[in-house]
Amino acid sequence: MVAAQAARRGGPVSAADACAAAVPAVGVTGAWLSAASGEDAGHVIRVTDAVAEQLAELQLTLGEGPSLEASASGGPALASDLGSTDAVGRWPVFAPAAARAGAAAVFVFPLRVGAIQAGVLGLYRARPGPLTDLQLGDALIFADTATLLLLDSQDHAAGNPKGAVGGQPAGLALHRAEIDQATGMLTEQLGTSIADAFVRLRAYAYAHDLRLNDVARDIVARRLRMRPDRDSDA
């Protein structure tokens, strides 16, 4: 199924194809794939639709959600109903935001081999409901497949800096590059570390109800400049 997806795309088999092929096979509405070496939300390699893109970006902006939980725990983060008390308790900001974006259930699987953390595979449904045992087993197989393909692509990319990791589309790679560049610029504007600059970037996007990519683009284009005083972001 992954090879067939790659053939339709007209390219070599990649982790992005495992992400896309998982949607009809597991019986979900959409999916996203993120690469990460630690416990953060990582950078997005593949999204199957606009809602999946929003879910991945929300977690990057908010600093909470199933992707971060799965990365930290090393196990799946499953929520069959984002409106439930359990889901809201686990992710008090992400859960309602994800529901507004169009997701009713999320299922995220860490891409891990031993101690190596490669990223996460996220699946969502527009209606609440758990995965069946068969669907859960299939999702785990797709996650394992995506892990191996992603690690393989990272090995190739290490020898080819211009290569996209895991079949990442140029548009998503550009978005991540803008976020990284904006974070670097903020370290100079604010006189702070990369980690603190990224927190400020996320906080500004959240406080002004803006997409992280849009804020980063404005900073890179010098349409937005932040000052060290937290009360005067403008």
Cβ-proximal residues to 80 (8 Å cutoff; 6+ apart), any chain: 105, 128, 129, 130, 131
Q: Which fold has domain 169-232?
A: Arc Repressor Mutant, subunit A (1.10.10)
For the cut 80, the answer to whether the pLDDT of residue 120 exceeds it is yes
**Edge-to-edge, what's the strand order for the sheet holding 77-79?**
43-47, 30-35, 116-125, 105-113, 77-79
Closest C-alpha to 2, from 116, 10, 15: 15
Task: Indicate the pTM of the whole model.
Answer: 0.75
Q: Residue 148 carries which DSSP code?
A: H
- Delimit the domains of the chain by residue range: 2-158, 169-232
Query: For the domain bounded by 2-158, which CATH number is listed?
Result: 3.30.450.40
Residue 162: which pLDDT band, with cuts at 50, 70 and 90?
Answer: very low
Cα 144 to Cα 91: distance, rounded to the nearest angstrom: 26
Q: What is the end-to-end Cα distance of the chain in Å, rounded?
A: 49
* Residues 49-61, mean pLDDT to the nearest whole number: 93
* Residues 163-189, mean pLDDT to the nearest whole number: 66
Tokens of 65: 């959600």
Cα 10 to Cα 13: distance, rounded to the nearest angstrom: 9
